[in-house]
Amino acid sequence: MRRVILIILDSFGIGGAADAADFGDEGANTLATIARDCLARNSILAVPHMMALGLGQAAQAVTGHMPAGLPAREPVTGLWGAAREISRGKDTPSGHWEIAGLPVPFDWGYFPKTRPAFSPALTDAIIAAGNLAGILGNCHASGTEIIAQLGEEHIRSGKPVIYTSADSVIQIAAHETYFGLQRLYDLCTKIRILVDPLNIGRVIARPFIGENAANFERTGNRRDYAVPPPRPTLLNVVEAAGRKTYAVGKISDIFAGSGITHALKAHGNEALVDATLAAMDKAQDGDLIFTNLVDFDSLYGHRRDSAGYGAALEAFDRRLPELRAKMQQGDLLILTADHGCDPAWPGSDHTRECVPVLIAGAGAGTIGIRDSFADIGKSVAAYLGYENALAGQSFLGGGHHA
């Protein structure tokens, strides 16, 4: 039995990216910021199970020092390392595609940091396509903040809140009841077509509920309309071999459904871990479970909430023994990330960082600092024994599948 459970701790960077200065992120370090915040509150970042997999060693390898505020080093029982990103962006699709063996060598399209952010032609086309009275926002913004600012006007006017960020993205926030969830999805589908010529990576539906700014809340009915990967990824390799891919969380959206045999949705990290455990009950020999834990990024990184991020890491670490206990002989559990999102960094955008690569089920040792996230996908394919043309170099031995 060989299965792989690949879990993305969305935005859990550990600093040290050689090209961080090119992105204005020199010195950014998500882990170090969170650990330092714990220390300032006379505590430590209680993640003993990740430390036992080599988190501290990986962090030290990329920066030359152990972040202050981490617990004492545990005896390392896992295979540990770190990886650099070679894709040209620090966005979600680029990070995930590269992890799955497909680096992104081209530049996505982005919207300028002006107000308005969208051209009059695009704005007019959106209004016409959606039969709208107009739009609100039309700027770079944090999703929760702009809903608080414009949500009540949205309810009164019926105009959706449309905004962007430093990512290649256009986001549409609308009330599930007053605007309608299906109407929001239909609008996003139309906008997806409109922004294809601009090479925008994702159109994201951001539904919310509540009656006023004091109680507006985004729901779990988010949906990403992404550009499909231009070439096969790890998911396609597994599917082509006749095995199953369980995409937990927003993985199916990020890959536009390509190579996905089972899409499992859930809202919040705890529910996503539960869904991963449920997939482990179903997955068979040669299958891949690919999970994204989005709360680290969306609830804490972008909101620059160090304390909340730390608490979420500790909560996930407490679930690791459940995941380990459900592993069967031959299973691998891989923990990594797709970019950073340093809670102490100016603004609300992702940060260019190296990411940890922590592996349970492959013995103890180190894989060093990998030159590309793609080494992860290449290694998974090699471990499962699948012939492939993925980018990267494997750090794992091969399996037994044709």
The domain that holds 256 is classified in CATH as: 3.40.720.10
The reply to whether 92 and 23 lie within a common domain is: yes
User: Can you give the pLDDT at residue 399?
Assistant: 57
User: Can you give the pLDDT at residue 215?
Assistant: 95
Q: Is the pLDDT of residue 265 over 70?
A: yes
Q: Percent of the chain having pLDDT more than 70?
A: 99
Q: Report whether 9 contacts 269 (CB < 8 A).
A: no
Q: Looking at residues 263-276, what average pLDDT do you find? A: 96
Angle at which helix 55-63 crosses helix 30-40, to 10 degrees, equals 110
| Residue where one domain finishes, among candidates 210, 226, 242 | 226
- pTM value is 0.90
Overall number of domains in the chain = 2
Q: Is the pLDDT of residue 122 over 80?
A: yes
Q: Is the pLDDT of residue 73 over 80?
A: no
Q: Is 401 or 124 the better-scoring residue by pLDDT? A: 124
What are the pLDDT digits (tens) for 88-121? Answer: 989 999 999 999 999 998 889 999 999 999 999 9
The reply to whether 133 and 168 lie within a common domain is: yes
User: Can you give the pLDDT at residue 71?
Assistant: 87
The reply to whether 171 and 200 lie within a common domain is: yes
User: Can you give the pLDDT at residue 37?
Assistant: 96
User: Can you give the pLDDT at residue 348?
Assistant: 84
Beta bridge partners of 164: 140
Q: Is residue 326 part of a domain?
A: yes
Element (H, E) at 144: helix 143-157
Is beta strand 136-140 parallel, antiparallel or unpaired with respect to 355-360? unpaired
Q: Looking at residues 201-207, what average pLDDT do you find? A: 95
Q: Report whether 49 contacts 68 (CB < 8 A).
A: no
Q: Is residue 216 part of a domain?
A: yes
Q: Is the pLDDT of residue 401 over 50?
A: no
Q: Is residue 399 part of a domain?
A: no
| Number of residues assigned to the chain | 402
The reply to whether 374 and 343 lie within a common domain is: yes
| Residue where one domain finishes, among candidates 226, 261, 283 | 226
Q: Is residue 396 part of a domain?
A: no
Q: What is the CATH number of the domain that holds 187?
A: 3.30.70.1250
User: Can you give the pLDDT at residue 263?
Assistant: 97
Q: Is the pLDDT of residue 231 over 80?
A: yes
The reply to whether 48 and 125 lie within a common domain is: no
Q: Report whether 269 contacts 312 (CB < 8 A).
A: yes
Q: Looking at residues 204-230, what average pLDDT do you find? A: 94
| Residue where one domain finishes, among candidates 173, 194, 226 | 226
The reply to whether 243 and 375 lie within a common domain is: yes
Please give the Cα distance from 169 to 172 (Å, whole number).
10
Q: Percent of the chain having pLDDT more than 90?
A: 92
Torsion angle in degrees (nearest 10) through CA of 30, 36, 38, 40: -150
Q: Is residue 113 part of a domain?
A: no
Q: Is the pLDDT of residue 343 over 50?
A: yes
Please give the Cα distance from 348 to 330 (Å, whole number).
40
Domain enclosing residue 204, as ranges:
120-226
At which residue do the structure tokens 């894709």 appear? Answer: 87
Q: Is residue 243 part of a domain?
A: yes
Q: Looking at residues 188-193, what average pLDDT do you find? A: 98
Residues 6+ apart with CB under 8 A from 294: 10, 249, 250, 269, 272
The reply to whether 182 and 217 lie within a common domain is: yes
The reply to whether 208 and 172 lie within a common domain is: yes
What are the pLDDT digits (tens) for 142-170? Answer: 888 899 999 999 999 999 999 998 889 99
**Sign of the four-CA dihedral 277, 328, 71, 81:** negative
Q: Is residue 394 part of a domain?
A: no
Q: Is the pLDDT of residue 236 over 60?
A: yes
Nearest of 192, 205, 223, 203 to residue 125 by alpha carbon: 192
The reply to whether 50 and 153 lie within a common domain is: no
Q: Report whether 172 contacts 204 (CB < 8 A).
A: yes
Q: Is 65 or 142 the better-scoring residue by pLDDT? A: 65
The reply to whether 221 and 243 lie within a common domain is: no
Residues 6+ apart with CB under 8 A from 370: 81, 82, 83, 84, 357, 376, 392, 393, 395
Q: Is residue 74 part of a domain?
A: yes
The reply to whether 262 and 340 lie within a common domain is: yes
Q: Is the pLDDT of residue 398 over 70?
A: no
The reply to whether 80 and 142 lie within a common domain is: no
Q: Where are the beta strands (DSSP E) in 135-253?
A: 136-140, 161-164, 169-175, 202-209, 217-218, 223-226, 245-248
